[in-house]
Structure 1
Amino acid sequence: MTVVNLAALKSANFRTYVSGSIFGLLAIWMQRVTVGWIAWDLTGSSSFVGLIAFVQFAPAIVLSPLFGVWVDRVDVKRATFLIQLVNFGVMFAFYIFFAVGWLAPVTMIALTLISGIALAANHPMRMSLAPRLVRRELVGSVVAIVAINFNVARTLGPAIGGVMIGTIGVAATLLVQALLFLPFLVALLRLEVRPRRDTATDPGSFFEALRQGLAHVWRTPVIWRAMVIGGALATIARGALEILPPLADGVFQRGPEGLGVLLTATGMGAVVGGFFKAALPPQAPGRIPNITISAIVVGLLMVSALGAAPGWMLALTVAAAIAFVTTLSAISMQTAIQMELEDDMRGRVMSLWAVVVAGGSAIGAWALGVLADLIGFQETLFWAGILSAAGLTLYLVISRRRG
């Protein structure tokens, strides 16, 4: 019988981080469903919902590598605390703007852009901080537990957000989201971070350090392959999951509660994917498991199935399956990458991973949203899934033949 790899929880330091971060993650996921609903309610446009998702993730394309270099040079605990303060401020600003009637499309874009900049910094910080809260041999367990924690919040947050919007209103929901961030800030103050384990490489100037990170990705086959496969999955599968308000309300007329249910279904699928990955045998270094690669192709085909779903229950099931695949693959590829890194390279390389995932999600959400307005939401998902699965399969066949 395979035992779930939760060894990192033996560390009280890491337990403090996990228990605090769940509050911040709940706030983020509640905000995602709330802001997505406001964008749809204000405009009734799939394109605008996709644009908001794009603005949320696009800064990561440009800024995450720069933040990654910064994280490798500063006190990661203090830097993380600073960025979480910014996140709290943005969430509170959303509440104020909505309460006084200033939250129009333009102000939504501005606040979301600030949130996106903080998110661009958060990715390399989170991926650098968590592994340094435990011994190096527990990094694989850390990746799995952090992903499970993330997806528990992904399950509960949308459900709570959708119910709260329908019962106490959008303004009160936004306020609760801001307040939920406070326990995470307290937890961060209590952490003890393992000293950085540096290599003998001199990082040199800021941009020389960035070049070294890019070169490390290029010359490490498993990292490069993870980036390519992860980018394809993020663009189509995660991009589709970022524009679910039109599916919940535009296709199935389920309102904000339906959106909460739909996002909860994706969260449940993601949690199962996280535990499934944790229950698998420990991942060998230097490779991406075959089960992950196969699951990704199936996941892209599930996007087509979501577009073709004739009923609400089937749509919920397929969305959960897509989330299962995205989580399983993300943990597998993050583990493969993290196992190839020393501490002084972790921020730079993981920031490039954030560029691929967040950038792919941003581009995919916007492109799919625009296409949905042009040819229909379900038609867009159907053809995007078919074509991306075929393209990725072709890439895998060619890369395998080339060795």
Structure 2
Amino acid sequence: MIKPIGGRSRPAVLRVLLETQFGLFFAGNGLSLIGSWMQRIACGWLVWEWTASAFWLGVLAAGDLLPVLVTGPFAGVAADRWDRLKQNRVAQLASAAVAMTLAALLFLECLDLVWLVVLVTIQGTLVAAIQPARLAMVQQMVAREDMGVAVALNSVSVNLARLIGPAVAGAMILKLDIYWLFVLNALVTLIFVWVLGRLQLLPRTSVPSSDGFWRQMLAGFDYVANNRAIMLVLLALLVGGAFVRSILELVPAVAALTFDNTAVGLAALTAASATGAVGAAVTVRRQKVASIPVGVLIWWGIGALSALLLTQADNTIVAILCAVTLGASITRCLVGTQTFVQLTTPDGLRGRTLSVHGLIARGSPALGALAIGAAADRYDLPSTVLVTSIVMLVLVLVMLGPTRRYASQAAEAD
């Protein structure tokens, strides 16, 4: 372990990155995520080029995100029963294989819309299957008091990838055959597999339960159902994911509203939302556990207003500023929600609780993108987002009081 220079304690961010195993994980995971975002942009671009349909963009998002509805509960039990690190390595190897399959089919000119959605769905299933183990093992890399910082740094990693990945993807689409994006994603994923092999996690703080698989799964759902504070923040995540975060899955359609060149608009809005997200993540500070859920609700309200203004904007500068705010608000919500769940859940139940969190976090944007995309094709995107944003704002106002009360109770119990 690296020692502080001159006997002085480093700032929390530097301490987590330089003095713990999380720093190595952060680097490898970030590189892999850049490749993943390149692949997502390539897939979205192909679908828009083939169909020019917001609905089919929603179908693609559903294929990527909805498998968590099936695999999430099983993945949560697996994270609490078995070696979390080995699960991550196997899943990343399989992800590299999927990327190479996409590259080969494109190279051979055998890839069509159906096969693209199928392979993206397989990729989404792998991500969903490993997400609880990936999130739960963060507490095996950092001290409890640094958990919020680690979650925020994870968000920085995701959003830097969302900033860098699309930029690299856009340049490669202009200069190279698109299948090279999938090849590069496979290569960086294999690098991450190597990084995972070098990690040495701290021992688990609890012994995995000897109960049967199904009994453990039900225990996880029972814990969430009886913890009202967690239920409320997850409800906000459900609606916020469907009505606010889903807009990021429809960026090609949003770009077509404001920009003369959709490809330029896609890159600009994606980069803008990622910039806002990174800025929000790096400015996260330690806060009392009881105050986290209320802050999450307020940021969901800001996100709803940003989504509304983004789809109504008739000026590219206004649209970019709205995308920055939207990215920042969504990140604050995701960081706050995950931090609260991590800190108020016992280690023996953490994987299963995070699987419910992941089910909602990944499933709600997919369902929202599918529904909003279908409504946008029938009516129009600005009107659809106007309705969903109003619903989100009303929910925030209704939930503020109960959320403040139950979050205080959960913090005292912890």
TM-score, normalising length from structure 1? 0.93
Q: Report 1:18-97 matches (<5 A).
A: 18-97=26-105
Deviations 1:261-289 (A, max 9, x none): 22111110110110122xx3x22234425
Partner of 2:7: none
Partner of 2:395: 391
DSSP-derived class of the 1:181 partner = helix
Q: 1:300 to 1:4 in 2, by over 3 A?
A: farther
Q: 1:143 to 1:203 in 2, by over 3 A?
A: farther
Note if 1:173 corresponds to 2:181. Answer: yes
Q: 1:158–1:261: 8 Å Cα contact kept in structure 2?
A: no
Partner of 2:233: 226
Structure 1 counterpart of 2:386, one-letter code: F
CA distance, structure 2, for counterparts of residue 202 and residue 77 of structure 1:
18
Q: 1:16 to 1:99 in 2, by over 3 A?
A: same
Q: 1:400 to 1:141 in 2, by over 3 A?
A: closer
CA distance, structure 2, for counterparts of residue 157 and residue 120 of structure 1:
21
CA offset at residue 110 of structure 1? 0.9
Deviations 1:64-88 (A, max 9, x none): 1111101111111111000011111
Aligned residue among 221, 233, 252 for 1:245: 252
Structure 2 counterpart of 1:292, one-letter code: V
CA offset at residue 398 of structure 1? 6.3
CA distance, structure 1, for counterparts of residue 338 and residue 402 of structure 2:
23
Q: Report 1:2-401 matches (<5 A).
A: 5-198=13-206, 202=209, 204-249=211-256, 251-277=258-284, 280=285, 282-397=286-401
DSSP-derived class of the 1:288 partner = helix
Q: 1:158–1:260: 8 Å Cα contact kept in structure 2?
A: yes
Q: 1:342 to 1:174 in 2, by over 3 A?
A: same
CA distance, structure 2, for counterparts of residue 231 and residue 6 of structure 1:
33
- Structure 1: where are the runs of 5+ without partners? none
Q: 1:400 to 1:136 in 2, by over 3 A?
A: closer
CA distance, structure 2, for counterparts of residue 266 and residue 361 of structure 1:
16
CA distance, structure 1, for counterparts of residue 297 and residue 381 of structure 2:
27
CA distance, structure 2, for counterparts of residue 76 and residue 401 of structure 1:
34
CA offset at residue 135 of structure 1? 3.3
Work out the percentage of aligned pairs sharing the same amino acid. 27
Q: 1:36 to 1:16 in 2, by over 3 A?
A: same
Deviations 1:174-213 (A, max 9, x none): 22222221221110000001111116x8451111111111
CA offset at residue 255 of structure 1? 3.2
Structure 2 counterpart of 1:312, one-letter code: T
